[in-house]
Structure 1
Amino acid sequence: MTEGYEYVPHRLLRCRVCDIASGVEGELMAVINEYVSSTSSEHWMELAYIRGTSGREFTTAVANVEPAKARS
């Protein structure tokens, strides 16, 4: 294997989303299927990269991403 990651298309790319695990909102910048490993296991995992209002990006599982609710 030459690459440890691959970009994955997602319907919410560049949209405002919410990470349901943390409650933090931001813009979905990318979804990447990454090869991750620890001392006990190695596997592929789809991670969502979200840019929060501070400008910093964080990752979460793709299953935790949902569209942000519109504010009134």
Structure 2
Amino acid sequence: MAAPQDAHTDIPHPLLRKPVRDIASGTEGTLMAVLMENTANVGQPEHWAEIAYIRPVGGGRELSTAVANIQATR
């Protein structure tokens, strides 16, 4: 399968630059980006998914999670 046309480019999202929570880990922070990425393991068929990147409150390394796992806070 060929990469989607928008692979590895920013995808618009209504919560960009807003406070969010990753429901999978409980991490809270700012949604910095949403990208379409191939999430398949090496040697497996491609599996494209929208991945959200959250910068934790107070800074630090951004956490990646499925877009379906984010919710607005505050």
- Normalized against structure 1, the TM-score is what? 0.82
- Normalized against structure 2, the TM-score is what? 0.80
Find the aligned partners of 2:56 and 2:10 in 1 and give their Cα distance. Answer: 20
Determine the structure 2 residue equivalent to 1:59.
64
Aligned residues: 69
> For residues 1-72 of structure 1, what are the structure 2 equivalents within 5 Å?
4-38=7-41, 39-53=43-57, 54-68=59-73, 70=74
Higher strand share: 1
Specify the code of the residue in structure 2 equivalent to 1:65. Answer: I
Residue ranges of structure 2 left out of the alignment (5+ in a row):
none
Runs of 4+ in 1 over 4 A off after TM superposition: none
1:36 to partner: Cα distance: 3.2
RMSD over aligned CA atoms reads 2.0
Q: Percent sequence identity over matched residues?
A: 50
Larger deviation: 3-12 or 28-37? 3-12
1:42 aligned counterpart, secondary structure: coil
Specify the code of the residue in structure 1 equivalent to 2:24. Answer: A
Residue ranges of structure 1 left out of the alignment (5+ in a row):
none
